[in-house]
């Protein structure tokens, strides 16, 4: 299944109101007989198969905890990789100097610089820039992709001025947020396990991604070195914990999804003898690969079978921004084929994979007008269909069904992590204020999805326990977190 190029990350934002007025839409053509019953049957079946009542949520949460334990015991014993991050020293606030971050996590990459002023000034200034990755590089060679990234980083570094000052005698240091499954081998090295999120880059199998970036920076003549390799979830946790010591879990919900948490070293059987000054480390779960007990439909199975990684990343394909819009498109296409939802002719655009994206379904759910005019405009602009009010209402219900399932399953996953932590650290999770740091455009910009997630957490934990669990948005946490981890692991840290 081909993934279309996108100038903004899928799931990163809701679309602005369309300028096309409902009067610009032509009346829907006469529909075939049996339309209402066929469409209603498909919708009813979809809602039933996507349902997430409390028993389903509990099963998902329990399965998440069980898979975490299995993954911590033996590599390969679980869908969850449970990767040791080698982050056992988190930023303290004492860090000083200029540090860079590179965040590669989807259809864009971000570069960022941070000037740190120590415990009194903390973050003095930040500056960031986002660069879109051409689609051909997502399927190109390792050298082509990393050269493009290093070139963007070099151009950004050239503009360094003003409040951003490199301390004398130092080389620029970088925190590299690489949001794909990596077998971490140290705080500044890691071997790529596999590409996800629509990437299929060749020439990276068995390679250290830090070495790939360092070599590309050298080819660009950029004097910079990677001091910390982190996952976006790990970066988010580090960035959030810099300001709030109660942060114990971080979750990314954007184009893709992942989660990490603070784990006790002695609770990792597969790493006997591992040392940590704090007695803890951050575990990168790679929870996008989770699959146990998920309520799936024919549309999920068809999309998975046609994807570039069939049978993999099932949780991600159910809850993340890259896929929600595509699931909705497939449902609407079947409704139109079976019951002429949009009239007697089949719209070509609706047949195009990923033509309806998650920002579109987010925008659809914000329409509160009587005739759902905005939904009509979105369908006309993005799917090439003309829909009467009744059809627009069906579309709204489909979007809500898919978003509700995604949000509630994400909430169940969070509770699974919290329960696992509580089992190992009695009273240290549910007995006090515990913060789950959230980042990603899907969580930030899709209010219905966000509310469904919170509802599931409250439903699973109950009103008393859920009062202690704080779910907070940590905007751009992974970028600043990576820079902070570069500072905490700087080769100059004995000077700090």
Q: Tell me which residues are annotated as active site.
A: 197, 232
Cβ burial of 276 (10 Å; 0-12, 13-18, 19+) is: middle
CA distance 226 to 438: 25
Do β-strands 469-473 and 434-439 pair in parallel, antiparallel, or remain unpaired? parallel
368: left (phi over 0), alpha (psi -120 to 50) or beta: alpha
Percentage helix, strand, coil, to 5, in the chain?
Answer: 45, 20, 35
CA distance 443 to 39: 30
Cβ burial of 305 (10 Å; 0-12, 13-18, 19+) is: exposed
HEC per residue, 411-452: HHHHHHHHHHHHHHCCCCCCCCCEEEEEECHHHHHCHHHHHH
User: What's the Cα-to-Cα distance from 194 to each of 78, 132, 204, 207, rounded to whole Å?
Assistant: 16, 21, 9, 11
Contacts of 113 (CB under 8 A, 6+ apart): 98, 99, 100, 101, 126, 127, 128, 156, 157, 160, 164, 483
Q: How many helices (H) and strands (E) does the chain have?
A: 16, 13
Handedness of CA 341, 347, 350, 352 (dihedral sign): positive
Q: Are 314 and 290 in contact (CB under 8 A)?
A: yes
Contacts of 241 (CB under 8 A, 6+ apart): 90, 91, 247, 437
State the number of CA atoms in the 13 A half-sphere of 62 facing the CB: 7
DSSP string, 168-196: TT--EEEEEEE-S-EEEEETTEEEE----
């Amino acid at each position: 299944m081909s993934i279309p190029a996108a100038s903004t990350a899928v799931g990163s934002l809701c679309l602005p109101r369309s300028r096309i007025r409902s009067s610009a839409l032509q009346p829907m053509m006469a529909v075939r007989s049996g339309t209402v019953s066929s469409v209603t049957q498909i919708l009813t079946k979809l809602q039933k198969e996507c349902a997430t009542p409390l028993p389903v949520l509990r099963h998902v949460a329990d399965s998440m905890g069980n898979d975490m334990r299995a993954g911590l015991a033996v590599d390969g014993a679980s869908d969850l990789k449970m990767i040791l991050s080698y982050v056992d020293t988190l930023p303290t606030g004492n860090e000083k100097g200029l540090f860079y971050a590179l965040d590669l996590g989807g259809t864009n990459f971000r570069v960022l610089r941070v000037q740190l002023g120590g415990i009194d000034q903390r973050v003095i200034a930040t500056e960031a820039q986002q660069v879109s990755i051409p689609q051909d590089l997502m399927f190109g060679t390792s050298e082509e992709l990393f050269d493009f990234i290093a070139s963007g980083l070099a151009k950004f570094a050239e503009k360094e001025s003003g409040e951003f000052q490199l301390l004398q005698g130092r080389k620029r240091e970088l925190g590299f947020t690489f949001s794909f499954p990596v077998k971490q081998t140290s705080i500044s090295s890691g071997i790529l396990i596999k590409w996800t999120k629509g990437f299929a880059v060749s020439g990276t199998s068995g390679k250290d991604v830090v070495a790939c970036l360092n070599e590309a920076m050298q080819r660009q003549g950029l004097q910079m070195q990677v001091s910390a390799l982190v996952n976006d979830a790990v970066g988010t946790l580090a960035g959030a914990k810099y300001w709030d010591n109660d942060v114990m879990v971080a979750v990314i919900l954007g184009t893709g999804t992942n989660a990490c948490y603070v784990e006790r070293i002695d609770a990792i059987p597969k790493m006997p003898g591992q040392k940590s000054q704090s007695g803890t480390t951050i575990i990168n779960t790679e929870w996008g690969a989770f699959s146990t007990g998920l309520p799936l439909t024919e549309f999920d199975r068809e999309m998975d079978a046609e994807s570039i990684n069939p049978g993999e990343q099932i949780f991600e394909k159910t809850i993340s921004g890259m896929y929600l819009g595509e699931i909705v498109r497939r449902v609407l296409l079947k409704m139109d084929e079976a019951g002429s939802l949009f009239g007697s002719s089949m719209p070509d655009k609706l047949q195009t994979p990923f033509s309806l994206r998650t920002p579109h379904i987010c925008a659809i759910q914000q329409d509160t007008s009587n005739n759902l005019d905005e939904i009509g405009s979105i369908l006309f602009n993005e799917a090439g269909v003309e829909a009467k009010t009744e059809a627009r209402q069906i579309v709204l219900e489909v979007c809500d069904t898919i978003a509700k399932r995604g949000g509630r399953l994400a909430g169940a996953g969070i509770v699974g992590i919290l329960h696992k932590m509580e089992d190992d650290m009695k009273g240290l999770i549910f007995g006090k204020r515990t913060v789950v740091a959230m980042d990603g455009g899907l969580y930030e910009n899709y209010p219905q999805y966000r509310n469904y997630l919170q509802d599931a957490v409250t439903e699973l934990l109950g009103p008393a326990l859920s009062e202690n669990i704080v779910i907070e948005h940590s905007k751009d946490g992974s970028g600043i977190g990576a820079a902070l981890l570069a500072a905490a692991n700087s080769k100059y840290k004995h000077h700090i």
